[in-house]
Structure 1
Amino acid sequence: MEHRIPRFTLEGVKDADVSVHPFSTEDELGLKLTRFRRDGHDGDVVLLVHGLTSSSDIFVMPEIRNMASFLLDNGFGDVWALDFRMSSHFPYDVETRDDSLDDIALYDHPAALAEIRRHVGADRRIHVIAHCLGSLSFTMALFAGTTGPIASLVCNSVALTPRVPRWSRLKLAFGATVFEYLMGLPYIDPRFHHAPPLTRRWLFARAVSLFHPECREPACHMQSFMWGSGRPAMYVHANLARETHTHERLADLNGASGVHYYRHIRKMVAAGRAVRRDPGDPRHAALPDDYLSRARGVDTPILLLTGDRNRVFTDSNIVMHRLLEKAAPGRHELQVLPAYGHIDPIIGKNAHADVYPLIIDFLSVRRAEMAAAAQGRGAGSEHVDAVVVGSGFGGSVAAYRLAEAGLSVVVLERGRAYAPGDFARTPAQMSRAFWDPAAGLYGMFDVWGFRAFDSVVASGLGGGSLIYANVLLRKDERWFVREHPLPGGGYENWPVTRADLDPHYDEVERMMGATPYPFHLPAYAGTEKTHAMQDAAAELGLEWRLPPLAVSFAPEPGAEPAIGVPITTPAYGSLHGDARRLTCRLCGECDIGCNDGAKNSLDHTYLSAAVHHGADVRTLHEVRAIRPRPRGGYEVDYVVYAPEAGEGARAARSGPRRAWARCARSGASAWCSPRAPTAPPTCCCATAPRSRG
């Protein structure tokens, strides 16, 4: 049979050193880890854990921007993918074994972590992202104390409170017995469709497909039967790439499942929580009978993910979060993903825009908190030289110059980071691209209503530069007036002249790559709007000129403009990692976010330069208050955003946190909104750097 995408391929992860690390468990099974490392990275480690029927393949799929690559591109340069005993890379799922999730919690995960620590050292922080029964079993191991210290844990679909639809409960009750004793099989395989005609496997696959008219892929039908109740059950069809939703590819990604695991899941579903399968088994004596009983003692922050169309484990993680909130209020978080199901938060074609950034934000916050704690500052009260509120034109310039001057700088931006390709385009994406945390919306567009007009402002890393039209005009020198009478009395008086500001204008234009539209070149001479403006100016007798635009028409300064060619990364690098930027393609989408990266927005310029000089830029952080301290400096209170489930959802992922700074610079909101934090009107630093743009 033809495989359009090679089975078990690693081609989905580019520009990384790849190594495979086999290891053995205490109960004598051979497993493996695959390591993806970039540029000798020696920071935090991320471990990826698959679920039942799948493998590490779901994290490295070449047909999408996969999770392993996304982590590498966003500052987590040491990623390990585990294949444990549930993996389709091994034959264990189709053998007559009787493993349980207790075995995985006791043997597989501790052995994998020991192997990682053998290579990276015991002092490296390890974050874990786990899916399905990999998530359930890893959480069991964490709560049982078999993992050692874990910096943070992300659980997709289910953790310690498995809940399933009614039809699934019926299948759990009788499925294992039916398959083992009536069909003589210890497993169910999505490839049963290709069994010899008229065999029990072939007939069963045909029977299952009769109840799934929603598509023509037999593997999709069988996986829905194996693990859920829906048409389909595992995902939302529209969320998969066309190359993914084929029979062969689906069967590769989610293979045969041993039915013996169903017995343990059935017991947990009946109990409403993770429990040992056989409390009398002496091999598992070190494990708790009830894993949730140790919830208060687990200090690892957990991010619980679930799609709002999860037809496999329904509201399992919502219930889990509710229980954890009672045991440890504010420690753990919940993200309900609109229009997502069970596995598409991992393998979906747009997961890199809808889901992965939420994970990156969670890991980044935890990394920063632990780094602060390691330096003796404490996670809840950091001490820095300067806190910059907002990352628009005012905030980004301040962050860069303060960091360049050697100060410790933290930038707090309420919105997300948007790399090229992350901006919403489809109707479904645009419907969620608005900023309203109370409604669980964390998109870029924030619509403000005033008495006489409305305004759309940006909520994202780079502020208004993400959605403005790129025009950089210098203020007319005739406007720099002194003692100029105002209507109704009073005077307008500018303390500076245009000549005072010209050196700073020069510097900003250089940083922003300002250049006129190359109208004189054949490739650009046919733009009708430019011709129309030229004709209108001539008819009105007005001067016509091309203003400076913060757009890359050429791959580097001084080069010949060309359409859609790669842009050379500046010496200060990019905070988006290796995300590729292309010169302007004349698509006219500047005001809704440039997915080519041709727009020289502040994230590509001042903020990347600030990060290069050591600034700590944090997204989804909104400042609530700034107060001067009696002995100098400022206290800055902020919250960290994340969507929550249910009506009246909370907008903050935790209670207010606090930073102490010698300087507090508010660069939030061009409208000086009443929603902006209470703040001093200026930036005051004991060691202020030279003032320039």
Structure 2
Amino acid sequence: MYDYDWIVIGSGFGGSVAALRLAEKGYRVAIIESGRRFRDDEFAERLSELRRSLWMPRLGMKGILRLTPFKDATVLSGCGVGGGSLVYAQTLYRAAPRFFEEWRRVSGSAADLDPHYDEAERMLGVVTHPRRTTGDELLMSVAADMGVADSFQPARVGVYFGDPGVTVDDPYFGGAGPARTGCIECGQCMLGCRVGAKNTLPKNYLWFAERRGVRIIDERTVTDVRSRGADDGADGYVVTSARSGAWLRKDRRKLTARGVVFAAGALGTNLLLARCKASGTLPRLSDRLGHLVRTNSESLTAVTIPDDRDWSRSVAITGSIFPDNNSHSELVTYGKGGDLMGLLFTLLTPDGTRLTRPLKLLSQISRHPIRF
């Protein structure tokens, strides 16, 4: 006998979809999420409200933005019931057909995914951004300077663009979903949408999952997964969790399940699996674990513009240009409450060695001390 048929670790995109679809098949499902549950009005108004914006639970900060520093990059990810959907810029593009050329022999064509894209877009309320913004005009001028003026595309976004600030009954699922409020284009999508216009997972997949009986256990971090008997998992699994960020009184608990879905994101899943491999609790894990892990191929560059135009009156991302077949550029805003994010940036420095690049940075700072 098991506590649940399936335990899903993480409530982001992968975990929420898995939980809903398993529940629809009649399975008993629980989701364990390290972050907390938020109402729309509980998100931070400014990033400087650290307790409500950043995820550093051991310091009493239980917001939605997790910062994970590595040797060559700092990774931003989401934390909370809804995972990355709480902090992402809600741009939802389909992969271009050329992406599938290398995969054609093993995974078919892009057309094979079309019905699944259709369903995901329906659930996430994907629309084309409806108006041209000041930022779009700037981006189009950059595209023209690069010789790719025709490449501009308005963004495909998961946002409810009803009457600004007006709350209506569910406009997406025939009244079966939650009430929604029209976007006011404050630009604070990645701080956590306080309006209720952003189509985060608690407003679709998780909403319906809970109504199918899925239990969401928040503010608990999974620390171990082990086979209940046979190494191959035939006898199910034991999942151990503890209070997120607790120094003392960790309140460790164990739950059993026939199967476990690891959906804690690229960082969380790899870290948990590595712990299980190192401790021997999941002895059949591949020796390739941790190899070929990568970011989402984005790099952020901050640009200052010497005029008083308001670039934040929009959603986080409203359009894109494509300088070549392998590059995709966007303007993005955190809104007026996101200025603290500037502390993550420094002056752009040319390539160099471990010795010369720091020297180049110091040279840039000495020449542009005010910008620094």
Tell me if TM exceeds 0.5.
Answer: yes
Matches within 5 A, 1:390-429: 390-426=10-46, 429=49
Instruction: State how far apart, in whole Å, the 2-side matches of 1:538 and 1:583 are.
Output: 33
Matches within 5 A, 1:434-583: 434-482=54-102, 494-519=106-131, 525=132, 527-539=133-145, 540-541=147-148, 542-554=150-162, 562-569=163-170, 570=173, 571-574=175-178, 581-583=180-182
Instruction: Deviation per CA, 1:528-577: give whole Å up to 9, x if none.
Output: 012222333344224222231011112xxxxxxx2222142344444xxx
Structure 1 residue 397, shift from structure 2 partner: 0.5
Match for 1:600 among 199, 212, 215? 199
CA 625–432 in structure 1, closer or farther in 2 if over 3 Å, else same: same
Instruction: State how far apart, in whole Å, the 1-side matches of 2:285 and 2:15 are.
Output: 13
- Aligned position for 2:236: 633
Q: Which residue identity is paired with 2:158? A: A
Asked if 1:671 is matched to 2:267, the reply is: yes
Matches within 5 A, 1:225-264: none
Matches within 5 A, 1:318-397: 383-397=3-17
- The TM-score, its normalising length taken from structure 2, stands at 0.66
Instruction: State how far apart, in whole Å, the 1-side matches of 2:73 and 2:154 are.
Output: 29
Q: Which has the higher contact order (CA 8 A, sep 6+)?
A: 2
Instruction: State how far apart, in whole Å, the 1-side matches of 2:196 and 2:214 are.
Output: 22
Match for 1:587 among 166, 174, 186? 186
SS at match of 1:584: coil
Instruction: State how far apart, in whole Å, the 1-side matches of 2:256 and 2:103 are.
Output: 40
Which one has the largest radius of gyration?
1
Instruction: Deviation per CA, 1:579-599: give whole Å up to 9, x if none.
Output: x64111010001111001110
Q: Tell me how many residue pairs correspond in the alignment.
A: 269
Instruction: State how far apart, in whole Å, the 2-side matches of 1:406 and 1:448 are.
Output: 37
Structure 1 residue 456, shift from structure 2 partner: 1.6
Structure 1 residue 483, shift from structure 2 partner: 7.5
- Aligned position for 2:354: none
Match for 2:248 among 636, 639, 650? 650
Q: Tell me the percent identity.
A: 33
Instruction: State how far apart, in whole Å, the 2-side matches of 1:681 and 1:547 are.
Output: 40
Instruction: Deviation per CA, 1:361-398: give whole Å up to 9, x if none.
Output: xxxxxxxxxxxxxxxx8xxxx61111000011110100
CA 651–605 in structure 1, closer or farther in 2 if over 3 Å, else same: farther
CA 537–586 in structure 1, closer or farther in 2 if over 3 Å, else same: same
Contact 2:10 2:34 in 1 (8 A): yes
Structure 1 residue 459, shift from structure 2 partner: 1.1
Instruction: State how far apart, in whole Å, the 1-side matches of 2:55 and 2:100 are.
Output: 37
Structure 1 residue 426, shift from structure 2 partner: 4.8
Structure 1 residue 415, shift from structure 2 partner: 0.3
Contact 1:666 1:681 in 2 (8 A): no
SS at match of 2:101: coil
Instruction: State how far apart, in whole Å, the 1-side matches of 2:52 and 2:125 are.
Output: 32
CA RMSD, Structure 1 to Structure 2 (Å)? 2.6
CA 565–403 in structure 1, closer or farther in 2 if over 3 Å, else same: same
Match for 2:222 among 616, 623, 632? 623
Matches within 5 A, 1:179-194: none
CA 478–672 in structure 1, closer or farther in 2 if over 3 Å, else same: farther
Instruction: State how far apart, in whole Å, the 1-side matches of 2:91 and 2:203 are.
Output: 16
Structure 1 residue 418, shift from structure 2 partner: 1.4
Instruction: State how far apart, in whole Å, the 2-side matches of 1:572 and 1:588 are.
Output: 28
SS at match of 1:403: helix
Structure 1 residue 401, shift from structure 2 partner: 0.5
SS at match of 2:258: strand
Instruction: Deviation per CA, 1:157-176: give whole Å up to 9, x if none.
Output: xxxxxxxxxxxxxxxxxxxx
Instruction: State how far apart, in whole Å, the 2-side matches of 1:389 and 1:616 are.
Output: 12
Q: Which ranges in structure 2 are unaligned for 5 or more consecutive residues?
A: 277-281, 287-372
Instruction: State how far apart, in whole Å, the 2-side matches of 1:427 and 1:601 are.
Output: 19
SS at match of 1:421: helix
- Aligned position for 2:361: none
Instruction: State how far apart, in whole Å, the 2-side matches of 1:599 and 1:389 are.
Output: 24
SS at match of 1:481: helix
Instruction: Deviation per CA, 1:453-492: give whole Å up to 9, x if none.
Output: 10121111111111111011111221223479xxxxxxxx
Q: Which residue identity is paired with 1:497? A: S
SS at match of 2:8: strand
Contact 1:390 1:413 in 2 (8 A): yes
SS at match of 1:676: helix
SS at match of 1:671: helix
SS at match of 2:114: helix
Instruction: State how far apart, in whole Å, the 2-side matches of 1:640 and 1:665 are.
Output: 20
SS at match of 1:461: coil
Instruction: State how far apart, in whole Å, the 1-side matches of 2:99 and 2:47 are.
Output: 43
CA 518–661 in structure 1, closer or farther in 2 if over 3 Å, else same: same
Structure 1 residue 681, shift from structure 2 partner: 7.8
Contact 2:47 2:53 in 1 (8 A): no
Q: Which ranges in structure 1 are unaligned for 5 or more consecutive residues?
A: 1-376, 485-492, 520-524, 555-561, 575-579, 644-648, 683-693
Instruction: Deviation per CA, 1:331-358: give whole Å up to 9, x if none.
Output: xxxxxxxxxxxxxxxxxxxxxxxxxxxx
Structure 1 residue 669, shift from structure 2 partner: 1.6
Instruction: State how far apart, in whole Å, the 1-side matches of 2:205 and 2:187 are.
Output: 24
Structure 1 residue 617, shift from structure 2 partner: 1.1
- The TM-score, its normalising length taken from structure 1, stands at 0.37
Instruction: State how far apart, in whole Å, the 2-side matches of 1:465 and 1:446 are.
Output: 13
Instruction: State how far apart, in whole Å, the 1-side matches of 2:263 and 2:195 are.
Output: 27
Q: Which residue identity is paired with 1:675? A: L
Instruction: Deviation per CA, 1:314-347: give whole Å up to 9, x if none.
Output: xxxxxxxxxxxxxxxxxxxxxxxxxxxxxxxxxx
CA 627–427 in structure 1, closer or farther in 2 if over 3 Å, else same: closer
Instruction: State how far apart, in whole Å, the 1-side matches of 2:5 and 2:67 are.
Output: 33
Instruction: State how far apart, in whole Å, the 1-side matches of 2:117 and 2:177 are.
Output: 23
- Aligned position for 1:690: none
Contact 1:413 1:621 in 2 (8 A): yes
CA 672–638 in structure 1, closer or farther in 2 if over 3 Å, else same: closer
Instruction: State how far apart, in whole Å, the 2-side matches of 1:431 and 1:617 are.
Output: 22
Structure 1 residue 618, shift from structure 2 partner: 1.5
